[in-house]
């Protein structure tokens, strides 16, 4: 799929689901809605959400873990079903983003070439959220940014047959609703609406919000060279992607929620695959390395500690620095 076809696809994947949402609201107002619509919406949202977060992002783009080929293909297919574009182009864009995050060349930074103030902030948010996908100069060559993925025949097939897979993901919830309601045609049709098109609208804008909101609003635990933020309220619907500052600090980490209270659904899925011996080479971050980096941020950005406390903190961290090792090679290899 070339750049022109990709833009047309994104336009269709943005406008058609939006129209479907308006239609669904009208039907809901007129009480044309049933329990089966909720079921297929939740099922398909979970499938496509894990497909993007676990499949496209952590497995393909950052190589955070390895798994068997059938699972790899299944996760990539689930990612295609989200309607965010071919896996090769998605991974290429994202690897490019990490290499120059919030700097010249970043495909979707909200901070480049926008005037200061409210108007510029809104323009930047729109660009990072969705506008960047319509940029006629947008290019991230898969052969340059993800040649390892281009060599995989199933990923090439999914990229070339994107429309077929996305269409199947709209029909599938209709078939599920038809089956669980005992053959209700109406349930089948509304299932396609809610589990198909409305679901694509919701999952896409959750993902886009990580690019936009996640680089403007939220908390920064780690001092990174970009403007990434952790957005707690977005963490569950984004399957853990909204712990975005954590991710930019340690891109290859299979877990984005670094604290016990930072819920990361994709990390739970990867952990489950590992425990059942269906995943291996799961990239983890040395807790000492994480502690050291977080403490360094306090010193760089103006810690509230007094000199005595700061000296004690440095003395405690010194042994870690001597024996600690950076288990996350992504600091020099963003892939």
DSSP secondary structure of 137-194: T----HHHH-HHHHT-HHHHHHHHTHHHHHHHHHHHHHHHHHHHTTS-HHHHHHHIII
Judgement on whether residues 158 and 277 belong to the same structural domain of the protein = yes
CB-based contact 170:201 (threshold 8 Å)? no
Which two structure tokens, joined as six digits, stand for 87? 């896996």
Q: Are residues 20 and 135 in the same domain?
A: yes
Specify whether 22 is located in the same domain as 96.
yes
Span between the terminal Cα atoms of the chain, in Å: 22
Q: Are residues 308 and 272 in the same domain?
A: no
Residue of 264, 233, 273, 271 lying closest to 246 (CA atoms)? 264
- Residues 6+ away with beta carbon under 8 Å from 265: 49, 50, 53, 236, 239, 240
Both structure tokens of 109: 């930074």
Same-domain status, 278 and 325: no
The DSSP line for 80-149 is HTTTS--HHHHHHHHHHHHHTTTSTT-TT-TTSS--SSHHHHHHHHHHHHTGGGG-TT----HHHH-HHH
Instruction: Fill in the DSSP letter of residue 219.
Output: B
How many structural domains is the chain composed of?
A: 2
- What Rg do the C-alpha atoms of the chain give, in angstroms? 21
Q: Which two tokens stand for residue 287?
A: 């807790």
Identify whether residues 193 and 296 lie together within a single domain: no
Q: Extract the residue ranges of the chain whose pLDDT is less than 50.
A: 297-310, 313-314, 317-333
Residues 315 and 264 in one domain: no
pLDDT of residue 129: 94
Q: Structural domain of residue 298, as residue ranges?
A: 288-331
CA distances from 311 to 26, 300, 307, 317 (A): 63, 14, 6, 10
What is the DSSP pairing of strand 66-67 with strand 279-280? antiparallel
Cα(208)–Cα(87) distance, integer angstroms: 16
306 and 251 assigned to the same domain:
no
Residue 3: per-residue pLDDT = 62
Q: Where are the beta strands (DSSP E) in 37-88?
A: 66-67
Q: Does residue 298 share a domain with residue 193? A: no
- Go through the chain and tell me how many residues it has: 335
159/305 same-domain check: no
- Whether residues 252 and 217 fall in one domain: yes
Q: What is the pLDDT of residue 10?
A: 83
Verify that 136 and 219 share a domain, yes or no.
Answer: yes
Looking at 267, 284, 301, which one is the last position of a domain?
A: 284
């Amino acid at each position: 799929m070339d750049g022109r076809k990709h833009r047309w696809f994104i336009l269709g994947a943005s406008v058609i689901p939006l129209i479907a949402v308006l239609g669904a609201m009208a039907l809901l107002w007129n009480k044309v809605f049933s329990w089966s619509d909720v079921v297929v919406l939740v099922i398909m949202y979970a499938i496509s959400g894990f497909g993007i977060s676990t499949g496209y992002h952590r497995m393909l783009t950052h190589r955070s873990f390895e798994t068997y080929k059938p699972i790899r293909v299944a996760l990539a297919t689930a990612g295609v079903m989200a309607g965010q574009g071919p896996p090769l182009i998605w991974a290429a864009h994202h690897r490019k983003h990490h290499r120059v995050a919030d700097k010249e060349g970043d495909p979707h930074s909200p901070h480049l070439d926008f005037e200061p103030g409210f108007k510029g902030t809104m323009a930047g948010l729109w660009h990072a959220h969705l506008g960047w996908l319509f940029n006629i100069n947008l290019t991230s060559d898969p052969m340059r940014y993800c040649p390892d993925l281009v060599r995989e025949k199933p990923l090439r097939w999914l990229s070339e047959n994107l429309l077929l897979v996305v269409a199947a993901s709209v029909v599938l919830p209709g078939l599920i609703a038809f089956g669980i309601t005992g053959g209700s045609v109406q349930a089948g049709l509304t299932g396609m609406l809610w589990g198909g098109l409305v679901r694509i609208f919701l999952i896409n804008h959750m993902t886009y919000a990580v690019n936009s909101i996640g680089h403007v609003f939220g908390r920064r635990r780690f001092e990174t060279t970009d403007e990434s933020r952790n957005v707690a309220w977005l963490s569950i619907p984004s399957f853990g992607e909204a712990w975005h500052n954590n991710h930019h600090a340690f891109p290859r980490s299979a877990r984005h929620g670094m604290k016990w209270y930072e819920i990361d659904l994709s990390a739970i899925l990867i952990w489950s695959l590992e425990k059942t011996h269906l995943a291996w080479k799961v990239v983890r971050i040395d807790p000492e390395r994480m502690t050291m980096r977080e403490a360094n941020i306090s010193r760089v950005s103006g810690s509230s500690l007094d000199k005595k406390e700061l000296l004690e903190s440095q003395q405690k961290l010194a042994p870690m620095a001597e024996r600690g090792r950076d288990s996350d090679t992504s600091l020099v290899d963003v892939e």
